[in-house]
Every structure is written in structure tokens, then in C-alpha cells.
A and B are shown apart, each in its own frame.
Chain A
Amino acid sequence: ETGVTQTPRHLVMGMTNKKSLKCEQHLGHNAMYWYKQSAKKPLELMFVYNFKEQTENNSVPSRFSPECPNSSHLFLHLHTLQPEDSALYLCASSHADRINEQFFGPGTRLTVL
């Protein structure tokens, strides 16, 4: 609907698992973002990529590892997560000069057991 797709939509993983979240945008944008949305905090920016280069890491723990192979795809690799990492992970994209107008995917609901 928004031109930004995310897979999987739901993910349950143990603390020792390794998993990856995928985001793809079909809007011709050149900036992509990962956000975390949890029940107890406002929407938190995690990472920003402009033209495939990471330009922002908002003090995110190293157990979250982003990857941006091209302007249309963004991954978030997950490793040895904690139960408090359970949240909705949202991907967004925009034109690099229109950061105020971001297009969000539907999110991946992550549960860490």
C-alpha cells in the first residue's frame, strides 16, 4: 500500500537465535530508516542510510546489525537478543532531501523469548 514492504510480519525467536528482518521500497527513494516502536517509549530511530551509506546509529546495541546493499533494500540482522527487545520494528524510506516525509512499512512484530 505505501510502497514499503517488510518481511516477516511476525517473528518469534529465542535469545540464542540469529534472524534477519527485510525491508524493500518501490518508491525510488534514496534514504532508508529502521525504527523501534515499543509499548513504553515513543517511536525510536535506530539507523539511517543515505545512498546506501549509514549516516546515523542512534546508540543501538551491537546485537542489532543493519545492512543496506542498495537503495531499495534494507536488512536488520538480529543476534542474541533480549526479551526487552520485543517490539514492532518499522522500516521507512524517503527522498534524502525530504526527510520530513517518510513512508513506513507495516512493521515486523518481534517477540524474544
Chain B
Amino acid sequence: GESVGLHLPTLSVQEGDNSIINCAYSNSASDYFIWYKQESGKGPQFIIDIRSNMDKRQGQRVTVLLNKTVKHLSLQIAATQPGDSAVYFCAELKAAGNKLTFGGGTRVLVKP
């Protein structure tokens, strides 16, 4: 969901556990939904995307799920590692558009 100021939603995860990060969207006309990761001091980094006509896509240790009925997107990270600590953003690409619209971000903290 939307974040306000520095008070990003935060997910604390034990190292080795699975993480689930959620995102709600409002635009049903989006063509792609994307997850980006931003580590401290760096720009966002593409993780994985999913087309709007799919409901699941898997990458290396990550799975993105899309539920169009409730307009919900999630990112699952398997066996979370310290290097996964970052802020995660969902984004959407509107059909026939030329720009991404980003959500507010979720901070993931991995505890050793």
C-alpha cells in the first residue's frame, strides 16, 4: 500500500524464513506488474515482472502472484538472506503506456 514519509511498512523476517510482501493496485488496465528492490545508497533494481494475463511467475528464489479479482500483487522470497534487506517497490505499467507508476514501498529487515 501507500507509504507516508519515512514510515514505510516494515516486514521483519528471520534469516532462512520465507518473506511475503504485498501490494494493492487500483488500475485494472495495467499491462505489467513489476517488483523492484532498493538497497541503501543504491537505485532501485528490477527483480521480476508478471504480465496481467498471468497469475504466477517464478524466478530465482522469488515468486510473484497476481490476483486480479482483488487487485492484489505479492512477492514471495524463499529462504530470506541478509542481502535481501532492502525496500521493495511494486510498480505497474499501463497498457499502451510509456511509464511506470510506483507504489510506496515496504522495508524488509532480515534478522540473523
Name A's B-contacting residues (CB within 8 A). 1-2, 4, 33, 39-40, 42-45, 48, 50, 55-56, 58, 90, 92, 99-107
Query: Across the interface, do B46 and A103 meet the contact criterion of CB distance under 8 Å?
Result: yes
B interface with A by C-beta (< 8 Å): 2-6, 32, 34, 41-46, 49, 89, 91, 93, 97-105
What total count of A-B pairs have CB within 8 Å?
Answer: 63
Q: Is the beta-carbon distance between A2 and B103 smaller than 8 angstroms?
A: no
CA distance A43 to B42 in the complex (A): 14
Q: Would you call A90 and B105 a contact (CB within 8 A)?
A: no
From the candidates B32, B34, B43, B93, name the one contacting A2 in the complex (CB within 8 A).
B43
A42-B104 contact given A105-B43, A106-B42, CB 8 Å threshold: yes
- Whether the Cβ atoms of B98 and A106 lie closer than 8 Å is no
Task: Pick the residue among A1, A43, A99 that contacts B93 (CB under 8 A).
Answer: A99
CB atoms of B45 and A2 under 8 A apart:
yes
